Amino acid sequence: MYNIAKGMNEKEIDDYVDFVLKNMSLEDKVKQMVGNGINVKVLFDLGFGKRVYDAAGSEKYNIPPLKFTDGPRGVIIPGSTCFPVSMARGASWDVDLEERVGDVIGKEVRAHGGNLFGGVCINNLRHPSWGRAQETYGEDTFLIGELGAALVRGVQKHNVMATAKHFAANSIEKSRFKVNVKMDERTLREVYLPHFRRCVEVGCATVMSAYNKFRGKFCGHNDYLLRKILKDEWNFQGFVHSDWVYGVKDTLGGIIGGLDVEMPRAKYYKFKKIEEALQDGKISVSMIDQAAGRVMRTILRYTTKEDPQIYEPKLIGCDEHRQVALEAAEKCMVLLKNENDVLPLDKKKIVKLGIFGKLARIRNTGDHGSSNVNTKKVITPLKGIREYVGDNIEILYEDGRNVQNVKNTAKEVDAAIVFVGLTYKDEGEYIHELRIGGDRENLSLHKDHIELIKLIAEQNDNCIVVLIGGSAIVMEEWKNQVPAILMAWYSGMEGGKALAKIIFGEVNPSGKLPFTIPIDPKHLPFFKANIDEIEYGYYHGYTLFEKEGYEPAFPFGFGLSYTTFDYSNLQVDVNEGKIIANVDVNNVGTLAGDEIVQLYIGFENSQIERPLKLLKGFSRVSLKPNKKKNIKIEVPTKNLAWFNPKSKSWEVEKIKYTLFMGSSSKNEDLLSIQFNIEN
Ligand code: GLC
């Protein structure tokens, strides 16, 4: 037995792995490159996600196995803390919070006996129809990268290997196993890769290759993505594992393409197949050594580190962790409309409160795919409101099926809250074995939900619409008929409690949209759920809307508060490779609240094709009434660069730029000032 010491440094680990590779049998090396998982049928029969899944490892050389579990909403093994979905946390724009979410998840992965976390899902939301929109943080690469990197940092604090997925350009669900995604080099480098690079830069231990093809080659076989860009250019030291079951299509493709581990079990990476390929001279032993070496080095880097604490099972779903889920739910909800200050409701003035819609009383934490957290204790909106008001307010509930009852109740109550939106039946990971999930064909609400809203709005002027979902919902058919709209997302196990606190003003809503909500779906890029090939353009979301001059229903970065924030005194300075921006933010309202200050850079003077502006910084600030703070955000000049496909390098133009700071991406919400980059 070889004693692997706690606290080995990187050189000791590298030397040890070199020793192992010199002495390990070929068969054991190949064992490092496969999951030990069981076949898919048994996987589902036993209940997917009920435990960690093993891969790699060597008893002889004292290399612990990988122990994998998902997912973006929390650890999917039963009993774990169920957070608001990633898209909801995208609306919090709170990097510190996301790191603390990662901290909780890291502890719970370890408490479940795991060491590999598959939950940093950072694909771009190119179109709101994408079935797995809820698993990523939004449409903008900078926002996705900052929050994805925060989750990586939090999880890896507990010696858990994080996975950035799905590398790359996985933004259609139904066709994910077959679709060939094409795009030009600037679109790849400037739009679809920067957030993956950001996670690699903060030390993300592993990357999961996507199912789809990229420029004609499956991502699990794509040497341009996996070897040229990820491992060579970005100097990625970890390993690439495949998406499950269908992530590898043949032995040579995977090995030559640079895929290190086939999950969840050996199919194309069976020893016999690899041995054959070696004998035929189609692959080399050094390719096997590289893959097995990456896996063993990464495992040892994480499993020989001193643990910051003990990970007992009682940590799983504990109250302290639920508090973080509650905070996330409170910070993610986005107030989209609030005419006549209908919200917050005044507990002292409301005698009767109507709650309408089936979604008020069902557990609705998101899709039922690989990110589904199997948690028992979910506070639904109806439960949260009932618990919040106690006996002080009479709650009248109608699920919406009996029109006459809805009409009578809506007329009788002082305010009416109607819960509408989506469930796992409408959007989610497409699991054909279970016939669930897929992309949304229709971006509006269900017809019966729209009718319910209209019916209630006719009877009650204080009609508040609460939307549940994981992506943009088109609201044109009804949004002008109600005074208040709140996007509440799939808000996790504590969502109902957070919602009640926001409705009654104990918490001031602070969420900002992580995507653009269109007036007309025709303004969005082309999207087709079942498609064999597609070209992704350089523009989508707010960059597309600004380029084409489309007016959104609600813009990227938009969200109201119960108070008002005033911006003034914008200043900019450029030195030592940084743009230093300052702005005063003043809470001129009557309630304390959080504001998310956004910083955009304008490229209207660019000599090349570029978006009108791009998000390059943001900062959350808490302010009491009549308090003012100066917010400073620094942007490294290199972050203004564009990728020149001719020189294959990043270049910063020496031009005049515009700096914008304010409360949303809408120009009317932004102060602006110009600055030059000269050298
Ligand atoms: C799924 C998903 C991936 C997940 C993996 C394991 O198909 O695409 O996100 O991590 O399989 O559950």
Ligand 1 centroid to 243 CA: how many Å? 6
CATH code for the domain in which residue 601 is found: 2.60.40.10
DSSP letter string over 171-232? --STTTTTPEEE--HHHIIIIISHHHHHHHHTT--EEEE-SSEETTEEGGG-HIIIIIIIII
- Report the alpha-carbon distance of residue 164 to residue 125 in Å, rounded: 15
Is 91's pLDDT higher than 80? Answer: yes
Number of domains the chain is built from: 3
Q: What confidence score (pLDDT) does residue 478 get? A: 98
Ligand 1 centroid to 37 CA: how many Å? 13
- Report the alpha-carbon distance of residue 419 to residue 357 in Å, rounded: 5
540, 597: one domain: no
Q: What confidence score (pLDDT) does residue 487 get? A: 99
Ligand 1 centroid to 54 CA: how many Å? 15
Residue 264 CA: nearest ligand 1 atom is 6
In the predicted model, what is the mean pLDDT of residues 319-335? 98
Reference 492, options 343, 369, 380, 345; nearest CA is 380
Which of 554, 582, 611 delimits the end of a domain? Answer: 554
417, 396: one domain: yes
Is 1's pLDDT higher than 60? Answer: no
- Report the alpha-carbon distance of residue 497 to residue 378 in Å, rounded: 10
Ligand 1 centroid to 152 CA: how many Å? 17
431, 490: one domain: yes
464, 542: one domain: yes
41 alpha carbon, distance to own chain's centre: 29
Q: What confidence score (pLDDT) does residue 431 get? A: 84
Ligand 1 centroid to 244 CA: how many Å? 6
In the predicted model, what is the mean pLDDT of residues 635-652? 98
- Report the alpha-carbon distance of residue 566 to residue 515 in Å, rounded: 23
Give a yes or no: residue 320 inside a domain: no
- Report the alpha-carbon distance of residue 14 to residue 289 in Å, rounded: 13
Q: What is the pLDDT of residues 490-499, one digit of tens each?
A: 999 999 999 9
Ligand 1 centroid to 153 CA: how many Å? 21
330, 279: one domain: no
Q: What is the pLDDT of residues 392-440, one digit of tens each?
A: 999 999 999 999 999 999 999 999 999 999 999 999 999 887 788 999 9
**Are the C-beta atoms of residues 610 and 642 closer than 8 Å to each other?**
yes
**Are the C-beta atoms of residues 57 and 64 closer than 8 Å to each other?**
yes
Give a yes or no: residue 319 inside a domain: no
407, 269: one domain: no
Q: What confidence score (pLDDT) does residue 376 get? A: 73
In the predicted model, what is the mean pLDDT of residues 293-319? 98
CATH code for the domain in which residue 475 is found: 3.40.50.1700
347 CB neighbour count, 10 Å cutoff: 16
370 lines ligand 1 (CB under 6 A): yes
Is 129's pLDDT higher than 60? Answer: yes
Give a yes or no: residue 384 inside a domain: yes
Give a yes or no: residue 371 inside a domain: yes
Give a yes or no: residue 41 inside a domain: yes
- Report the alpha-carbon distance of residue 101 to residue 299 in Å, rounded: 23
399 lines ligand 1 (CB under 6 A): no
170 lines ligand 1 (CB under 6 A): no
Residues 6+ apart with CB under 8 A from 391: none
Is 48's pLDDT higher than 90? Answer: no
Ligand 1 centroid to 163 CA: how many Å? 11
309, 344: one domain: no
Give a yes or no: residue 303 inside a domain: yes
Which of 554, 578, 607 delimits the end of a domain? Answer: 554
Is 651's pLDDT higher than 90? Answer: yes
Reference 299, options 143, 499, 68, 104; nearest CA is 68
Half-sphere CA count of 364, side-chain side, radius 13 A: 27
369, 494: one domain: yes
Q: What angle do CA 67, 73, 74 make, to 5 degrees?
A: 45
Q: What confidence score (pLDDT) does residue 43 get? A: 60
Which residues are 485's β-sheet partners?
337, 465
194, 337: one domain: no
User: Which of helix, strand or coil describes residue 518?
Assistant: strand
Tokens 């960690």 found at = 52
**Are the C-beta atoms of residues 346 and 389 closer than 8 Å to each other?**
no
Backbone angles phi, psi at 303, to 5 degrees: -95, -10
Reference 65, options 53, 75, 74, 57; nearest CA is 57
Active-site positions read 243
- Report the alpha-carbon distance of residue 603 to residue 607 in Å, rounded: 9
Q: Whose CA is nearest to atom 12 of ligand 1?
A: 370
Ligand 1 centroid to 540 CA: how many Å? 25
Judging by DSSP bridges, how do beta strands 334-338 and 352-356 pair with one another? unpaired
**Are the C-beta atoms of residues 178 and 246 closer than 8 Å to each other?**
no
Q: Whose CA is nearest to atom 4 of ligand 1?
A: 370
Q: Which of 69, 243, 432 to mutate to test the pocket of ligand 1 (most atoms within 8 A of CB)?
A: 243
Reference 547, options 609, 471, 601, 473; nearest CA is 609
**Are the C-beta atoms of residues 532 and 178 closer than 8 Å to each other?**
yes
In the predicted model, what is the mean pLDDT of residues 515-529? 98
374 lines ligand 1 (CB under 6 A): no
Helices (H), ranges, 250-346: 251-257, 271-279, 285-303, 319-332
Reference 117, options 76, 177, 59; nearest CA is 76
Q: What is the pLDDT of residues 591-616, one digit of tens each?
A: 999 999 999 999 999 999 999 999 99
Give a yes or no: residue 321 inside a domain: no
Residue 166 CA: nearest ligand 1 atom is 9
Q: Which of 109, 120, 241, 429 to mutate to test the pocket of ligand 1 (most atoms within 8 A of CB)?
A: 429
Ligand 1 centroid to 71 CA: how many Å? 8
Is 40's pLDDT higher than 80? Answer: no
Single-letter residue type at 13: I
Bin 15: left if φ > 0, else alpha if -120 < ψ < 50, else beta. alpha
135 lines ligand 1 (CB under 6 A): no
243 lines ligand 1 (CB under 6 A): yes
285, 407: one domain: no
User: What is the residue range of 645's domain?
Assistant: 565-676
- Report the alpha-carbon distance of residue 92 to residue 157 in Å, rounded: 22
Q: What is the pLDDT of residues 550-562, one digit of tens each?
A: 999 999 999 999 9
- Report the alpha-carbon distance of residue 269 to residue 250 in Å, rounded: 8
- Per cent of the chain over pLDDT 90 is 95
Q: 3-state DSSP: the chain helix, strand, coil percent, rounded to 5?
A: 30, 25, 45
DSSP state letter for 457: H
- Report the alpha-carbon distance of residue 657 to residue 635 in Å, rounded: 13
Chain mean pLDDT for the chain: 96
CATH code for the domain in which residue 35 is found: 3.20.20.300
In the predicted model, what is the mean pLDDT of residues 305-327? 98
Q: Which of 105, 179, 244 to mutate to test the pocket of ligand 1 (most atoms within 8 A of CB)?
A: 244
49 lines ligand 1 (CB under 6 A): no
241 lines ligand 1 (CB under 6 A): no
Q: What confidence score (pLDDT) does residue 139 get? A: 98
Q: Whose CA is nearest to atom 6 of ligand 1?
A: 244
Residue 119 CA: nearest ligand 1 atom is 10
In the predicted model, what is the mean pLDDT of residues 219-242? 98
- Report the alpha-carbon distance of residue 592 to residue 587 in Å, rounded: 8
367 lines ligand 1 (CB under 6 A): no
Q: Whose CA is nearest to atom 3 of ligand 1?
A: 243
Tokens of 294: 């990456």
**Are the C-beta atoms of residues 73 and 83 closer than 8 Å to each other?**
yes
Give a yes or no: residue 470 inside a domain: yes
165 lines ligand 1 (CB under 6 A): yes
Backbone angles phi, psi at 26, to 5 degrees: -60, -40
Residue 135 CA: nearest ligand 1 atom is 9
195 prior amide bond cis, ω within 30: no
Tokens of 478: 């009804």
516, 647: one domain: no
Cα Rg of the chain, angstroms = 25
Which of 554, 583, 611 delimits the end of a domain? Answer: 554
Single-letter residue type at 179: V
Residue 118 CA: nearest ligand 1 atom is 10
244 lines ligand 1 (CB under 6 A): yes
SS (H, E, C) 100-146: HHHHHHHHHHHHCCCCEEEEEECCCCCCCCCCCHHHCCCCCHHHHHH
Q: What is the pLDDT of residues 465-475, one digit of tens each?
A: 999 999 999 99
183, 247: one domain: yes
Backbone angles phi, psi at 495, to 5 degrees: -55, -40
- Report the alpha-carbon distance of residue 606 to residue 363 in Å, rounded: 49
- Report the alpha-carbon distance of residue 657 to residue 232 in Å, rounded: 33
pTM: predicted TM-score of the whole model, two decimal places: 0.98
Ligand 1 centroid to 183 CA: how many Å? 24
